[in-house]
Amino acid sequence: MKKTLATFTGIALLAGMAFAAPPFPRHPNLRAAHNHLAIAMEKITAAQKANEFDMGGHAHKAKELIEQAQKELVAAAEAASGTASGPRSAWPREPFRS
């Protein structure tokens, strides 16, 4: 019984990690940026707890912006990999030639 439970838990954990993992296998710089943002989110949460969430709403706003930045990094990785569902950006453009 314990072995079955441990196996099930391990499979569920791996499946959850695969589903939640951002699409950065070919983009180590984007993955690193995403990880730094996750660390920043943890530090802000710790600061909020230490200050009893009395930060004038600024920490909350910072966390919202971090979430937005994380989504943009995922979109950037998808666009660079050719898996983006939306329109591709026009950047970088070819240099102007006269």
Q: How do residues 34-80 score in pLDDT, each as one tens digit?
A: 999 999 999 999 999 999 888 999 999 999 999 999 999 999 999 98
The answer to whether residue 87 is domain-embedded is no
Whether the per-residue pLDDT at 82 is higher than 50: the answer is yes
Sequence-ordered list of residues with C-beta below 8 angstroms from that of 33, at least 6 positions apart, any chain: 73
The answer to whether residue 49 is domain-embedded is yes
The answer to whether residue 59 is domain-embedded is yes
pTM above 0.75, yes or no: no
The answer to whether residue 55 is domain-embedded is yes
Residue 88: its pLDDT value, please? 52
Whether the CB-CB separation of 84 and 78 falls below 8 Å is answered with yes
Domain holding 66, by residue range, is 24-77
Whether the CB-CB separation of 74 and 68 falls below 8 Å is answered with no
Would you list the DSSP string of 23-36? S-TT-HHHHHHHHH
* Amino acid, single-letter form, for residue 3: K
CB atoms within 10 A of CB 40: 14
